[in-house]
Structure 1
């Protein structure tokens, strides 16, 4: 399977500045897991980052959907810490609040046809400043 990605080299420095200015930790929450460190990070200027270990999706059964599966693992990984999450999968955005014991969070919905914008980063920065020690 081949994917076409449009990567913006300005995103890396903007995300690093977001993390530095708010004390947040940058983490991949992608089905690509550690592959994001090889395929995306060098292109946009990010160092290797930790990642949420999201196992292969077992398929739609027992009420599971792709988004709910991903949201479950992100919620568990945060372990009660507040978090901001940039997500372009609409199903995940609908499912994160339904996770048991999910921490305070901001889910920034990204239109995959538009991508991450300065407004998304600004919204996360405002929220993180109000929710991190």
Structure 2
């Protein structure tokens, strides 16, 4: 089973702070809403490289859901990716983020790395204690700066050192 690389959009690929010069500004219309996002076109290539190097599968773990394939993926050079369906209306039972049960259900027993700006100790505890999962790495991304080389390096190192990497 391939390990999963789970990717959030807002705060990870679309930083909330002042974006650096490598980011481009886009206006995305979804239904009646218009969103401004700042995206780094190199992120797609770097995520694909990580997936290839580790034999992992890229998956959206974002409230953008399928809209990420329409609006985010083509602007950063990613293909259409599988999507974890989210239901933000479900209340937290143990302090975990609303996405965490959905991630656990999707991943099952597959190892995964999750890039998100809202993962905390409560999410790790929920996954380990409540779901009995062991093989995952939560990478908290500072929402002001977004995804960096350091985050990608952490994922690569964890996947290769733990033996989950299926890359070349």
Tell me the C-alpha RMSD between the 2 structures: 1.9
Give the distance between the partners of 1:22 and 1:63, measured in 2 at CA: 34
How far does residue 54 in structure 1 lie from its aligned partner after superposition? 1.2
Q: Report the counterpart of residue 116 of structure 1 in structure 2.
A: 147
Q: Which has the higher relative contact order, 1 or 2, with Cα contacts under 8 A spaced 6 or more apart?
A: 2
Count of residues in correspondence between the two structures: 128
Q: Quote the residue 2:160 is aligned against.
A: 129
State which structure, 1 or 2, has the greater radius of gyration over its C-alpha atoms. 2
Give 1:19's match in structure 2, choosing from 48, 51, 60. Answer: 51
Q: TM-score, normalised by structure 2?
A: 0.69
Any stretches of 5+ residues in structure 2 without a counterpart? 1-32
Distance 1:77 1:3 in 2: 27
Give 2:115's match in structure 1, choosing from 86, 91, 94: 86
> TM-score, normalised on structure 1?
0.86
What is the alpha-carbon distance in structure 2 between the residues aligned to residue 125 and residue 88 of structure 1? 19
In structure 2, the residue matched to 1:33 is: 65
1:95 Cα shift? Answer: 3.0
